[in-house]
Amino acid sequence: MKSRAQLTYAGVQKQIDNGSADPMFAILQEVGEKRLAKEAARGGISLPMPEQEIDCSGDTWKLEYRELLPVENWNAQISLLTGMGAATLMVKAKVGLLRTLPEPDPRDVQRLHRTARALGLDWPDDQPYPEFIRSLDPTQPIHAAMVVASTRLLRGAAYVAFDGEVPAQAEQAALAAEYAHVTAPLRRLADRYAGEVCVAISAGQPVPQWVLDRLTALPDTMRESDRKAHQYENAVLNLVEAAVLAPRVGEQFEGVVVDVDDKSDTRGDITIHEPAIEATVTAQAPLPLGKEVTVTLSKADVASRTVEFTLAWPKTSGLDTAPSGSSSPRP
């Protein structure tokens, strides 16, 4: 493989928008949009979650949210298509390594229905959850809380190795298809082995013994690898959040309550837009899920990588509603 151009998603998207892009990107757009339509038709789903990023400019670090560009979604569909093709090869040959996700527990779906009702969102009982989630706009506070709540349905992803018999649960439920990781062999170990399996199958040759010898151990290896990677990424983000906010303890910020703890409705998670922060929030009364609120930064400790906010008061109809004991208007 030879790279003939150094491109960025933002640069390519700009070229597409102003009509100066290489014709191959028109093909990418056409294929990507058709694949997205097919994903919706078969009941697949991807959550429209903005990415939290660290922007390093000289000696200054900033946190910001970034929405995925259309070209990124089209490109992702090519990777997904490749993974589905690889899974088809392996399932047919009855040997390989799949990336699976079970169907959501009906109790979790019912719980989401209750969350939607609590947020005032219309979700008809006969509307499939993928269709409902695709209708959400995460730029709206209530929708953002619903998107975060919906992540519960995407838990349980795993790698499954097999040789001689296809697993009973072989599908990636979020994609509504069989799927394998094969597009990133330089950074993900599973792809290296799954790729070798596909090469052998395509060539009509036996899968190399060194691959078969490692297949059964790979799911455990990848589970531990994923755990450490997520732990590391979260630690870095938490450290930067604490460092950025450390000088601002006691200040107030505007944000949205996106999650409420199952065991305590006075504790949950909040998203602050400026700077882009996701952190714990506590209150003396039940937190208003999906509502825009004013919070006070109560802790920003770099050593422990901890950031915490306390609820000041919710915002209602454009008016700030103060805690009890204040003369400010209340709802």
pLDDT tens column, 235-283 = 998 999 999 999 999 999 998 888 888 899 999 998 888 888 888 999 9
Q: Mean of the per-residue pLDDT values for the chain? A: 88
pTM, two decimals, is 0.81
The predicted model gives 122-137 an average pLDDT of 88
Q: How far apart are CA 52 and CA 171, in angstroms?
A: 29
Query: Between 149 and 34, whose confidence is greater?
Result: 34
Q: Give the pLDDT score at 324.
A: 36
Confidence of residue 10 (pLDDT cuts 50, 70, 90): very high
The predicted model gives 22-39 an average pLDDT of 94
| CATH architecture of the region 241-320 | Beta Barrel (2.40)
Q: Which of 43-57, 192-206, 234-248, 276-290 has the lowest mean pLDDT?
A: 43-57
Residue 37 scores a pLDDT above 60: yes
What are the structural domain ranges in the chain?
Answer: 94-226, 241-320
Confidence of residue 73 (pLDDT cuts 50, 70, 90): very high
Tokens read off for 227:
């755990």
Q: How far apart are CA 216 and CA 219, in angstroms?
A: 7
Q: Which residue has the tokens 């805690």?
A: 323
Burial of 165 (0-12, 13-18, 19+ CB in 10 A): exposed
